C-alpha cells in the first residue's frame, strides 16, 4: 500500500511538471526548457527543482522559462534573468564567486585555523615536572596498598 502511494505521488509530480498543453511545440526547445527546469530551485519548496515541484510558483517559473525560450533568449540570458529577479538562490548550482567560495570554504578554513591553534597550544605546554622524592615515596606506598 505504501509503495502504491509513493508511486502515485511521484506520478502526480511528474504529471504536474509536464502538462502537455503547456509544452513548447518545438521538441528541441522543450528539451532546453526541461534542462533549465532542473537547474532552477523552487522558491517555495527550496530543496527541489521547478521540474519536480508542484507549487504554483514553480508552475509560473516554468511558464516564464518557456516564454523566454520561445522568444529566442539563450540559456545564459534566462539564468541571468532569474538571478536578477530572484537572486542566486534561485539556481540549484550557483556560479562560483568570491562570496560563494567564502560561504562554502568558510567551515574548512575555521577547522584548519582551529586545528592549527590547538596544535600550537599543545606544543607550547611545558613538560610535566618530575615527582619530588616525597611524592615518589607516597606513590610507591599507595601502589603497595592497592595491591594488598
Number of domains composing the chain: 1
- What pLDDT was estimated at residue 20? 65
**CATH code for the domain in which residue 46 is found:** 1.10.8.640
Residue 127 forms part of a structural domain: no
- What pLDDT was estimated at residue 81? 93
Residue 125 forms part of a structural domain: no
Question: How far apart are alpha carbons 83 and 99 in whole angstroms?
Answer: 15
Domain of 35, in residue numbers:
2-90
Asked if residue 54 lies in contact with residue 17, where contact means CB atoms within 8 angstroms, the answer is: yes
Residue 35 forms part of a structural domain: yes
- What pLDDT was estimated at residue 95? 75
Residue 32 forms part of a structural domain: yes
- What pLDDT was estimated at residue 145? 83
- What pLDDT was estimated at residue 134? 93
Residue 52 forms part of a structural domain: yes
In 71-129, alpha helices (H): 75-86, 98-123
One digit per residue, the tens of pLDDT, for the chain of length 148 reads: 666 555 555 555 544 445 666 777 778 888 999 999 999 998 888 788 998 888 999 999 999 999 999 999 999 999 999 999 988 888 888 777 777 778 778 899 999 999 999 999 888 788 788 889 999 999 999 998 877 6
Question: How far apart are alpha carbons 131 and 128 in whole angstroms?
Answer: 9
- What pLDDT was estimated at residue 16? 47
Amino acid at each position: 500500500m505504501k509503495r502504491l502511494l509513493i508511486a502515485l505521488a511521484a506520478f502526480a509530480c511528474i504529471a504536474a511538471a509536464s502538462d502537455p498543453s503547456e509544452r513548447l511545440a518545438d521538441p528541441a526547445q522543450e528539451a532546453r526548457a526541461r534542462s533549465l527546469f532542473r537547474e532552477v530551485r523552487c522558491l517555495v519548496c527550496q530543496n527541489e527543482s521547478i521540474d519536480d515541484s508542484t507549487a504554483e510558483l514553480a508552475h509560473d517559473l516554468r511558464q516564464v522559462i518557456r516564454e523566454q525560450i520561445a522568444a529566442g533568449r539563450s540559456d545564459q540570458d534566462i539564468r541571468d534573468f532569474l538571478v536578477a529577479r530572484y537572486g542566486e538562490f534561485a539556481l540549484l548550482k550557483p556560479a562560483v564567486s568570491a562570496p560563494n567560495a567564502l560561504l562554502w570554504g568558510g567551515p574548512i578554513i575555521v577547522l584548519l585555523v582551529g586545528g592549527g591553534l590547538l596544535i600550537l597550544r599543545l606544543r607550547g605546554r611545558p613538560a610535566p615536572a618530575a615527582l619530588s622524592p616525597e611524592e615518589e615515596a607516597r606513590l610507591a606506598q599507595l601502589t603497595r596498598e592497592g595491591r594488598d
